[in-house]
Amino acid sequence: MLKPQDIFVLLKLVVMGSRPWSYAILAVELGMSPSQAHSSVKRTLAAKLTVRQGEKIVPHFRNLEEFLIHGLKYVFWAEQGEMTRGMPTAYAAPPLAELLVNTAPEPPPVWPDSDGEVRGIAFQPLCKQAPQAARIDKNLYELLTLVDAVRSGRAREREIATKKLRIRLEQYASDF
């Protein structure tokens, strides 16, 4: 059975492109143990979200796109909480922040994070290590925020996020 961290690891594999990787590299860049990274990749293989290409394991982009857009919000729904300090996500973060203006007086969604610079409504990320990994990798951050917008957004936000996500996945797929 998939865990939310599996999608986190898989999105990292997407942004890494054809760059060689190991479980140790994934672990360091994502702030988890190599055994956690290995278990996540193993589950994504079983779910057919990744495939073996010779000696490499790579994302299965068609299956991944379908799951992210149509299934993720039902399996790993968005949990929101209290006001907290954190890192912006969904419509409040790039690449959607430039496109969507928050006209409502409600605070933005944020991943709870003591190093965060924005006060907003707590939004549980797919994995608790997301804020740290996102600070290191801008491309991963943007994919995670698009996924969060699909998981939680209003119809317009979801529609724009879905279009952006499809475009990015096509771009990343061309790297393989």
Q: For residue 7, what pLDDT is reported?
A: 98
**Residue of 95, 106, 86 lying closest to 145 (CA atoms):** 95
pLDDT digits (tens, 9 = 90+) for 110-166: 999 999 999 999 999 999 999 999 999 999 999 999 999 999 878 888 999 999 999
Query: Distance between CA atoms of 51 and 176, rounded to whole angstroms?
Result: 12
- Parse the chain into domains and list their residue ranges: 4-75, 80-173
* Bond preceding residue 108 cis, omega within 30 of 0: no
Rg (CA), the chain: 15
Share above pLDDT 70 across residues of the chain, in percent, rounded to a whole number: 97
CATH class of 4-75: mainly alpha
pLDDT per position as a tens digit, 20-48: 999 999 999 999 999 999 999 999 999 99
pTM over 0.85: yes
